């Protein structure tokens, strides 16, 4: 299968001006992303995540190296509809309402009005923006803006999705919905490249990760392989204190180590997800 | 796909939302200002309308408002605006949507200006019909200073005329009698009435039966006051009237022309400058055209109020 995104020795250096030195925002990196895969790009602030996305979206020319998206140079006009880029930061045209904004995006992407409106309505409902359809964007919360930006990115049903912090500012329900949608799109054959600071999300949703640090690749590869270790851990539940003590002694006898014994509890994220599921069930029942 | 959904429609709607109220307020202020202090001049009523300054205000506010909104609305119009990346990637056309944005702003300006120009021109007393005015071109030495002296003026383009306005400069009289002139075209005298001058810049309107006029001969028939017919001192007035609303509609096109130049300037500046610089440039560019009299709009306003064709 041909790679949706392919880059060889891709590098970006911002030239210095006056006394300011030049900045190597991306040091030469190779990248391949297959259709149907989700790649998480991780790294601290200033590590080059956004620069990488802007290059792939055709908004930043690379200083050196070769890059192709769906077989074309990133700035090729044909890719405007086939590749979506959700950039970080505020939305433009903030005096429009959400349906007006999506209609604008649809028009610029050359979608027929009826198709654009139908998809926009479905996306607004899915991303829970329907109740705010009459409000102007500048009255939206950060999370609502993020969801609208994602709706705009999904409007053309692109083959490649480039997302810069798609869940920052979202509540856990919104995050879960967004990740669910991205997973669906990937299962439908889209290639998704997502820059994020949220490690848990990336771990749950991405097939591969690329870790950047100071513009250079720090780690990369399949998530299962990257996270695998040679050690084994045994997780048990349902034993009483005596049984636990015996199990610990048996582990020590065999050269093992009891790292931690704790009362089992949920993570907050799982708790929110469960609450969300319960809420969904309740709404369906109604 | 519809243009109303794209940058054209978005800008038009935004201009209307943001500029309609200030423009309406300016129009109200202009109407009140005119009612409070309407100019009253003796003689020609049309001249009184031309003396009112108030028509400028609402049209100026509409022009400035629409240009500012265009520059502010479209994220790539001015450097460093929010959401520029999202728009830059999807915007169509070689200008990245700026052309459509400018067209939307100009259309909004026309939408706001047209009813105001129509209503206020009437309210301020502009003549109900406008006539075409053509300045006749005279010879190199356009002076008559003795009986029998002749000057030939060319009317370009020729037109069907119904009167000629003469307003020469007078020199020191060489005798007691005012100078009398005759006007002929193609050997035919245009009027039997006497045409007489004794003061400098005295305006004499010479009406006659409508006829096609391509050239005009001025002959001194009597008197002792030398007359100089400099540029603009012989004006031929056409016979075909244009209704006031047509002339006012043309004025809005002149008004939009001021914004074309302003938006080009704003777009060029916006490539390297931020919002505050571009906004200041927009206001300054409109100000010098509307208030400073640079460009055609200031003259066009006067012509509408005087009842002169703008074409």
Nearest CB among A59, A95, A111 relative to B88 is that of A59
> Which of A182-196, B85-99, B166-180 shows the lowest per-residue confidence on average (mean pLDDT)?
B85-99
Instruction: Identify the residue with better confidence: A42 or B239.
Output: A42
Which residues partner with B215 through β-bridges?
A: B154
> Given pLDDT bands bounded at 50, 70 and 90, which one contains residue B162?
very high
pLDDT of amino acid A269: 64
Q: Got the DSSP string for chain A? A: ---SEEEEEEEEEEPPBTTBPPEEEEEEEEEEE-TT-EEEEE--TTSSHHHHHHHHTTSS--SEEEEEETTB-TT-TTHHHHEEEE-SSPPS-TTSBHHHHHHHHHHHTT--HHHHHHHHHHHHHHTT-GGGTTSBGGGS-HHHHHHHHHHHHHTT--SEEEEESTTTT--HHHHHHHHHHHHHHHHTT-EEEEE-S-HHHHHHH-SEEEEEETTEEEEEEEHHHHH--S-------S--HHHHHHHHHHHHHTT------------HHHHHHHHHHHHHHHHHH-
Which secondary-structure segment (H or E) carries B237?
Answer: strand B234-238
Q: Which strand ranges, in their side-by-side order, compose the sheet holding B169-170?
A: B143-144, B227-228, B169-170
Q: Do A89 and B83 count as a contact with CB atoms less than 8 A apart?
A: yes
Q: Which residues contact A17 (CB under 8 A, 6 or more apart)?
A: none
pLDDT of residue A116 exceeding 70, the answer is yes
Quick one: tokens of B236?
């031929």
| Residues 110-149 in A contacting B (C-alpha not used; CB under 8 Å) | 110-113, 116, 149
Question: What is the predicted ipTM?
Answer: 0.77
pLDDT of amino acid A109: 93
Quick one: tokens of B65?
């408002």
Give me the torsion for CA of B290, B294, B299, B305, rounded to 10°: 10
**Average of per-residue pLDDT across A153-177:** 91
- For residue A25, whether the previous peptide bond is cis, meaning omega lies within 30 degrees of 0, is no
Nearest CB among A92, A103, A116 relative to B83 is that of A92
pLDDT of amino acid B26: 96
Which secondary-structure segment (H or E) carries B276?
Answer: helix B275-290
pLDDT of amino acid B305: 83
As to burial, measured by CB atoms within 10 angstroms (0-12 exposed, 13-18 middle, 19+ buried), residue B36 is exposed
pTM of the model: 0.81
**A173 vs chain B: nearest CA distance in angstroms?**
25
Which residues partner with B134 through β-bridges?
A: B236
Q: Do B86 and A58 count as a contact with CB atoms less than 8 A apart?
A: no
As to burial, measured by CB atoms within 10 angstroms (0-12 exposed, 13-18 middle, 19+ buried), residue A256 is middle
The crossing angle, in degrees rounded to 10, of helices A172-187 and A268-285 is: 80
**Average of per-residue pLDDT across B247-269:** 93
Residues A211, A44 contacting (CB under 8 angstroms): no
Q: Which residues of A touch B17 (CB under 8 A)?
A: 95
Which secondary-structure segment (H or E) carries B195?
Answer: strand B195-197
């Amino acid at each position: 299968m041909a790679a949706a995104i392919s880059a060889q020795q891709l590098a970006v250096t911002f030239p210095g001006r006056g006394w300011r030195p030049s900045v190597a925002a991306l040091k030469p990196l190779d990248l391949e992303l297959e259709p149907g895969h989700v790649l998480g790009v991780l790294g601290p602030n200033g590590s080059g995540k956004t620069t990488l996305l802007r290059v792939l979206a055709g908004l930043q020319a690379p200083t050196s190296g070769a890059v192709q998206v769906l077989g074309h140079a990133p700035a090729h006009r044909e890719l405007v509809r086939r590749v979506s880029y959700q950039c970080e930061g505020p939305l433009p045209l903030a005096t429009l309402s959400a349906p007006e904004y999506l209609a604008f995006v649809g028009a610029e992407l050359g979608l027929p009005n009826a198709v654009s409106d139908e998809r926009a309505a479905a996306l607004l409902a899915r991303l829970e923006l329907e109740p705010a359809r009459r409000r102007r964007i500048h009255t939206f919360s950060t999370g609502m803006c993020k969801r609208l930006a994602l709706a705009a990115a999904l409007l053309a049903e692109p083959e490649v999705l480039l997302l810069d912090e798609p869940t920052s500012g979202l509540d856990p329900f919104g995050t879960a919905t967004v990740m669910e949608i991205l997973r669906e799109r990937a299962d439908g054959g889209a290639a998704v490249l997502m820059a994020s600071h949220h490690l848990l999300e990336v771990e749950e949703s991405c097939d591969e990760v690329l870790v950047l640090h100071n513009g250079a690749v720090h780690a990369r590869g399949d998530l299962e392989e990257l996270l695998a270790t040679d050690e084994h851990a045994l997780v048990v539940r349902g034993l009483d204190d005596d049984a636990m003590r015996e199990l610990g002694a048996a582990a020590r006898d065999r050269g093992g180590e009891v790292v931690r014994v704790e009362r089992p509890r949920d993570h907050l994220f799982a708790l929110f997800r469960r609450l969300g599921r319960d809420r969904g069930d309740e709404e369906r029942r109604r | 796909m519809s243009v109303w959904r794209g940058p054209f429609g978005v800008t038009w709607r935004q201009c209307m939302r943001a500029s309609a109220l200030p423009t309406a307020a300016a129009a109200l202020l202009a109407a009140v200002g005119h009612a409070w202090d309407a100019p009253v001049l003796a003689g020609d009523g049309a001249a009184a309308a031309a003396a009112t300054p108030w028509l400028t205000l609402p049209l100026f506010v509409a022009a400035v408002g629409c240009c500012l909104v265009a520059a502010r609305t479209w994220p790539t119009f001015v450097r460093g605006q929010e959401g520029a990346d999202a728009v830059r990637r999807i915007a169509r056309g070689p200008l990245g949507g700026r052309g459509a944005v400018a067209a939307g702003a100009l259309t909004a300006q026309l939408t706001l200006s047209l009813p105001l120009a129509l209503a206020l021109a009437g309210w301020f007393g502009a003549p109900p019909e406008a006539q075409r005015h053509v300045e006749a071109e005279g010879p190199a030495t356009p002076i008559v200073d003795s009986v029998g002296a002749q000057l030939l003026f060319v009317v370009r383009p020729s037109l069907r005329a119904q009167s000629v306005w003469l307003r020469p400069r007078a020199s020191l009289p060489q005798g007691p009698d005012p100078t009398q002139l005759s006007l002929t075209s193609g050997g035919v005298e245009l009027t039997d009435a006497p045409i007489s001058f004794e003061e400098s810049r005295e305006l004499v309107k010479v009406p006659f039966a409508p006829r096609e006029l391509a050239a005009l001969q001025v002959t001194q028939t009597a008197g002792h006051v030398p007359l100089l017919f400099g540029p603009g001192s012989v004006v031929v007035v056409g016979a075909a009237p244009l209704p006031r609303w047509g002339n006012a509609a043309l004025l809005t096109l002149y008004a939009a022309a001021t914004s074309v130049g302003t938006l080009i300037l704003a777009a060029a500046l916006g490539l390297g400058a931020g919002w505050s610089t571009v906004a200041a440039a927009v206001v300054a560019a409109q100000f010098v055209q509307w208030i400073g009299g640079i460009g055609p709009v200031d003259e066009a306003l006067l012509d509408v109020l005087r009842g002169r064709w703008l074409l």
